[in-house]
Structure 1
């Protein structure tokens, strides 16, 4: 026999058990007595047991009803808790948001927007995953985070890429470097200089490969003398005078590069796009949806770092 017992059957059962009366239970549940009687009849037919003994003066639980009563109360409690949790999530009184982003996004762009969100929705947990471009995509694909902020590393067919920022490439060099006083620098100026690059597994380095191929920049990025796996380590190498580096403006605006000079490169002026990355077919929670909208508005209205621009609508 199929099980057609619902939460209304359990509420009817427990209310009658507590009040000892169909009349009072019907009043408490805002039901007619005939509706309540039919509901209990359906329940007893489903379990094939008599749950109440009815006398002219009182309704009492049978032995089987006594055994079932605490179980029914727990089922109702669990249902109410789960339903209230859903409502709390919808109203953003409860929940958690995960975001994967590059170190430069986390360090330079996200603190202010996270502060604003946390002030508005103090009960929503926030966790950030610092990762490279391919790692950001993978975390979104695996549902480890709600969405990502980064480059389009591999154009995954299961992901949506919404462009939000344009980030111009330039050269990072010590402030006392002879070229730091130049009015304008071209890519040709960089080709003959000793350079330090991020390692090949980073999105910045793979994007440089692509730029070199598409624009014939003559950088020979395949065989640099020095490679570093982190932006902070790269900044230390440049400060030590071991060479210059090519970075997007946002990466060069983080605190690790605060004592270095960033100069945008011209002829050609090249930019990378930064995207909000979501998984196709996956609905965001109300909290994550609100955070994403706030991010989009923030990128459109805030004063961005030099040489970082919003994508035209």
Structure 2
């Protein structure tokens, strides 16, 4: 089987149009179409349903496409491995992460990584998930670390680890609102102080679903901010209830600075690695992702 024919098929399958795939491969559309036709003829299969609006994969085409993803991913891994012999792990390491990931997951792994590769210079952008994912498309950031998936077609996500959530408030608030049971106490804290959440959380499908599952109804909002670190600080100041990752508030709970409200089924969220599809990562980025994955997986 001719590998170039497979690559031609793979690029057309990704874009859905021969014209776009031809531009990406820097060959004529007719030559690309001929390569795909030869592949189908030689193997005796139909991989595309063709129409004026473009092409769609057949059932067999979908199977071949998924195998091609593995094939070319392996090819790239081999290329990167061989290149590392000549490359030095140094220079800029540009990526983005939400503030809670930076504060609770990134500091120690980045510290140990820099001891190993002192000539790498990290440049880290922080912000809400939408801005972070946008930066992968419009800036030099090579990857991102965040807990929320943003629905952008040309972004790939890889799960690194999972984290349970904790519903917390200042202990004095819980004592002040103490009732005959935890549910009534929770209702009273919400009525008196409100819920600290992300801006517009009740307007977005996924955050709203989580909130409704947590409280059974839309709670009174006490304060909105897209910074989870800010939510934690306002919670410590007694501004209301916050729902944050367990690692983010573990020390404060242990020290008695925050009270963990009993929740029967706390939510579990995944920490995601996000990369723009087709992006070739630098050696520094590849090495750091490998190092970080090992650290958070422990």
TM range (shorter): 0.5 to 0.7
- Residue 207 of structure 1 and its aligned partner are, at CA, apart by 4.8
Query: Which residue in 1 is equivalent to 2:120?
Result: 124
- C-alpha separation between the residues in 2 aligned to 1:151 and 1:206? 16
Residue by residue over 1:17-56, the C-alpha shift from the partner in whole angstroms, topping out at 9 and shown as x without a partner, is: xxxxxxxxxxxxxxxxxxxxxxxxxxxxxxxxxxxxxxxx
Q: Normalized per residue, which structure has more helix?
A: 2
Of residues 266, 274, 279, the one that matches 1:277 is 274
Aligned partner of 2:143 in structure 1 is 147
- Kept in 2, the 8 Å contact 1:92–1:121? The answer is no
Q: Name stretches of at least 5 consecutive residues in structure 1 with no aligned partner.
A: 1-86, 302-313
- 1:293 Cα offset (Å): 0.5
TM-score by length of 1: 0.56
Find the residue that maps to 2:279 and give its secondary structure.
coil
Residues 167 and 263 in structure 2, CA contact (< 8 A), matched pair in contact too: no
Task: Tell me what 1:134 maps to.
Answer: 130
RMSD: 3.6
Which structure has the bigger radius of gyration?
1
- For these two proteins, the number of residue pairs brought into alignment is 209
1:151-204 Cα shifts (integer Å, max 9, x gaps)? 233222211111112221222211344469x9xx9778634422232332579x
| Unpaired runs of at least 5, structure 2 | 1-82
The alpha carbon displacement at 1:292 in A equals 0.4
Secondary structure of 1:290 counterpart: helix
Give the C-alpha shift of residue 262 in structure 1: 4.9
Corresponding residue SS for 2:258: strand
- The answer to whether structure 1 residue 175 and structure 2 residue 171 are counterparts is yes
Instruction: Say which SS state the counterpart of residue 266 (structure 1) adopts.
Output: coil
Which secondary structure does the structure 1 equivalent of 2:189 belong to?
coil
Q: Which of 94, 100, 112 is residue 96 of structure 2 equivalent to? A: 100
1: distance between equivalents of 2:241 and 2:214? 20
How far apart, in 1, do the equivalents of 2:233 and 2:108 lie?
27
Aligned pairs for 1:221-236 within 5 A: 221=219, 223-236=220-233
Given that residues 196 and 240 in structure 2 are in contact (C-alpha distance below 8 angstroms), is that contact kept between their aligned partners in structure 1?
A: no
Cα shift at 1:144 = 2.9
TM-aligned CA distance change 1:178 to 1:167, over 3 Å: same
Residues 113, 232 of structure 1: alpha-carbon distance in 2 compared, 3 angstrom cutoff: closer
Of residues 282-291 and 141-150 in structure 1, the stretch that sits farther from structure 2 once superposed is: 141-150
Change (3 A) 1:232 1:273: closer
State the Cα distance separating 1:111 from its structure 2 match: 1.2
Over 3 Å counting, the alpha-carbon distance change for 1:285 and 1:237 in structure 2 is closer
1:200 equivalent in alignment to 2:214? no
For residue 237 of structure 1, the aligned residue among 234, 238, 242 is 234
Deviation at 1:121, TM superposition (A): 1.2
